[in-house]
A and B are shown apart, each in its own frame.
Chain A
Amino acid sequence: MSANGQRTVTWLPEIRTGRFDGALSGDADPAEISGYPDHPPRMGFFTDTSVCIGCKACEVACKEWNHVPEDGLNLLGMSYDNTGGLGADTWRHVAFIEQRKPVAMQDAGVHHEGADVLGLIPEGSGTPPEAATMTPTTPGAANDLRWLMSSDVCKHCTNAACLDVCPTGSLFRTEFGTVVVQEDICNGCGYCIPACPYGVIDQRKGDGRAWKCTLCYDRLSDGMEPACAKACPTNSIQFGPLDELRERADRRVGELREAGVADARLYGRDPDDGVGGDGAFFLLLDEPEVYGLPPDPVVTTRDIPSMWRHVGAAAGVMAAGAAAAFAAAVWGGHR
């Protein structure tokens, strides 16, 4: 395989054993395992849902930049979420959850007269969470209704099931450690779709191929940040080298907990979880399943050695059964 992930032309198929080539778990370097000896740092997203305002700018920016087609303008009756979930034509999805749980203080008396608006311009499109006067999670007096908003995206797993099960090699690992579909290779077999433990990748209707977030591979290659992160007005979507993001996330969750937000937790940050850690991880304010995320996802191919052993045993039993059937017939005098 050449460095850009395209197979060099030979008449022989390439024999790949996926993640069994290298490290199996722990804080593995997926790009290194995938054959990039010299590669940029692993890039990813840290989506801090505690500062998400549910504006859906990420959804729009993603659709525009990646030419993702319209997939129905529906009213779903699910709070302000009329997108539904991730799929072939939705690569960022903002979830809205209304809960009867104590909320942070909602203070009407926050004034911004003192803020130097023009002075904030160098900060770019997002106000750093620590600089914000108030965030939706500022602890305070109890109220019993709160809203959670969270922008979901492909997790770009360290051990990616979609990539492992793809029989064409259409899905591949980029030099940034992300997972991307090559649409000129995909034959629409659909195996990646039930393999994904998060329900991210899906088949595009009328097109037949599987599509998902590319972490804006084209933009990354030009040194730009992905469209969703660029468009996020609150820095809820943070893009960068995964190591830095993990440090930042650890700090942030510590600060939130110290401030009394006991529900704050990181999701997908742990390199020892069932998928070897996510390239795109989250700070959540409730259990993952509340946001439609699996609480303890496991890459299905973790069990593939055992699966093949059982298949081998069953095939052996089948052959032995047939041999026994003929032996019994002959032995029983039926020739």
Chain B
Amino acid sequence: MSQSDVTKEGLRGERPDREAMTGVNVPRRWRGKRRAEQPMVPPAEFTSYYGKPIINQPVWESPDIPGYLFLGGLAGGCSLLAAGSDLTGRPTLGKTVKTSAVAAGALSVVALVHDLGRPGRFLNMMRVFKVTSPMSVGSWLLGGYVPAAGVAALTALTGRLPRLGAAATAGSALLGPAVASYTAALISNTAVPAWHDGYPEMPFVFTGSGMMAAGGLGMTTALLPGTGPDETTPARYLAVLGAAMEIAAFERMEHRIGMTAEPYSEGKGGKYVKAGKLLAAAGTAGTLLSAPGLAGRLLPGRVRRALAAASGATLVVASAATRWGIYHAGMASAGDPKYTVVPQRQRLNERARADGAAGGSGG
């Protein structure tokens, strides 16, 4: 079969035809598609079946799933800010974060449903409640959270039914941290090495990221007319605390899990993660600069408010970038057999050594 194409750049897709070599004389470029440098079965570091991945890559798509992870964190954080705003008398901030909470919560459900292979069957999620399935737990959580956040937002915007509004705000603030964190269990509860191995730190990355996003969003309230500098103070604190927590937990995770953390610093996932860290640092710097008590004193009010809002928006984007990075790193980690085989092989070797040291013999 000669199927080469004649193009302006010359022949494309040439095959060796009757000049084809066999066995050891085959030039390296004819061996395998994935890695032209390696022989069929890479001998040195680990073995695989023609370099094919062992686990199946998730079929979850971007922007649905990274968006779903991001929006859950944003919504959960906003609901906490909403409850605090009500308690400390911050109506402008309260309205902003209540509206954002229900919008983000509802959008995350839309993203989840849109990603289903059969969106019309979304309600099948409500057939069972399984603690072994964070997606099941999450569906029930969102089923309670989104209506509560909706009532909280509606009552705040219309000013009607204040008691119902207070109850809904309290309810959504109770569910909020769960909404922001269960998605960490959702992705960790897979065979994807970069996700599973990071399960102890992942929830802290997610809640930190959610705090940062919600705080950042609250800070943009500074642009609304009639917002005093005190209105957004808690949002600023929450944002900086969240950014610090996200970065610290992420660093800890990367250090602890070793080679399976590679996709968090390489490739597409690595780029997003790096962007997330830089944006978080920049947003935090801007937040501190625009704080009224600090250098912000030197800036004119209009500039200070604009800087605060811009820093807040940067932190929202930073949170999203981190989720996209985690998503893409997981995809890369699932697509390379190295991350499945090497740690498992190490585990087996260590167990064999331990057995050998104990004087036992393996079966």
Let me know if A167 and B203 touch, CB within 8 A: no
By beta carbon, the residue of chain B nearest A14 is B128
Give the number of residues in B that approach A within 8 Å (Cβ atoms). Answer: 99
Smallest CB separation, B335 vs chain A (Å)? 11
- CB of B306 within 8 A of chain A? no
The CA-CA distance from A323 to B176 in the complex, in Å, is 13
Please tell me which one of the listed residues A190, A296, A304, A326 contacts residue B348 in the complex, with CB atoms under 8 A apart. A296
Given contacts A196-B191, A289-B341, A315-B177, contact A308 B233 (CB under 8 A): no
Interface SS majority for chain A: mixed
Smallest CB separation, B279 vs chain A (Å)? 20
- CB of B80 within 8 A of chain A? yes
Please tell me which one of the listed residues A17, A98, A188, A201 contacts residue B116 in the complex, with CB atoms under 8 A apart. A188
| Residues on A with beta carbons closer than 8 Å to the beta carbon of B344 | 294-297
User: Chain A 286-301, CB within 8 Å of chain B: the 1/0 string?
Assistant: 0101111111110011
Docked complex: B315-358 residues within 8 A CB-CB of A? 330, 334, 337, 340-341, 344-345, 347-348
Interface SS majority for chain B: helix
The CA-CA distance from A209 to B53 in the complex, in Å, is 21
Let me know if A318 and B41 touch, CB within 8 A: no
| Residues on A with beta carbons closer than 8 Å to the beta carbon of B46 | 289
Binds A, one of B103-111, B238-246, B265-273: B238-246
Let me know if B238 and A167 touch, CB within 8 A: no
- CB of A284 within 8 A of chain B? no
- CB of B301 within 8 A of chain A? no
Please tell me which one of the listed residues B57, B125, B189 contacts residue A189 in the complex, with CB atoms under 8 A apart. B125
The CA-CA distance from A323 to B278 in the complex, in Å, is 27
Please tell me which one of the listed residues A186, A199, A314 contacts residue B204 in the complex, with CB atoms under 8 A apart. A314
The CA-CA distance from A13 to B133 in the complex, in Å, is 14
Interface centre among B41, B76, B245 (most CB of A within 10 A): B41
Smallest CB separation, A159 vs chain B (Å)? 10
- CB of A328 within 8 A of chain B? yes
Let me know if A306 and B199 touch, CB within 8 A: yes
- CB of B81 within 8 A of chain A? yes
Let me know if B139 and A314 touch, CB within 8 A: no
Smallest CB separation, B337 vs chain A (Å)? 7
The CA-CA distance from A85 to B51 in the complex, in Å, is 12
Let me know if B49 and A97 touch, CB within 8 A: yes
Let me know if B128 and A78 touch, CB within 8 A: no
Given contacts A292-B54, A316-B177, contact A304 B131 (CB under 8 A): yes
Docked complex: A73-114 residues within 8 A CB-CB of B? 77-78, 81, 84-85, 87, 95, 97-99
Let me know if A203 and B117 touch, CB within 8 A: yes
The CA-CA distance from A200 to B57 in the complex, in Å, is 11
| Residues on B with beta carbons closer than 8 Å to the beta carbon of A84 | 52
Let me know if A187 and B341 touch, CB within 8 A: no
Smallest CB separation, A42 vs chain B (Å)? 21
| Residues on B with beta carbons closer than 8 Å to the beta carbon of A198 | 54-55
- CB of A125 within 8 A of chain B? no
The CA-CA distance from A197 to B90 in the complex, in Å, is 49
- CB of B33 within 8 A of chain A? yes
- CB of B206 within 8 A of chain A? yes
Enumerate chain A interface residues (CB-CB to B < 8 A): 7, 13-20, 77-78, 81, 84-85, 87, 95, 97-99, 161, 164-170, 185-191, 193-203, 207-210, 270, 287, 289-297, 300-301, 303-304, 306-308, 310-311, 313-319, 321-326, 328-330, 332, 334-335
Knowing that A197-B55, A325-B84 are A-B contacts, what are 5 other residue pairs whose CB atoms are under 8 Å apart, sorted by A's residue number?
Answer: A97-B49, A304-B189, A308-B131, A308-B185, A326-B87
The 8 A-B pairs at the shortest CB distance, nearest first, are namely A188-B117, A208-B117, A292-B49, A314-B203, A187-B121, A315-B177, A322-B80, A167-B136
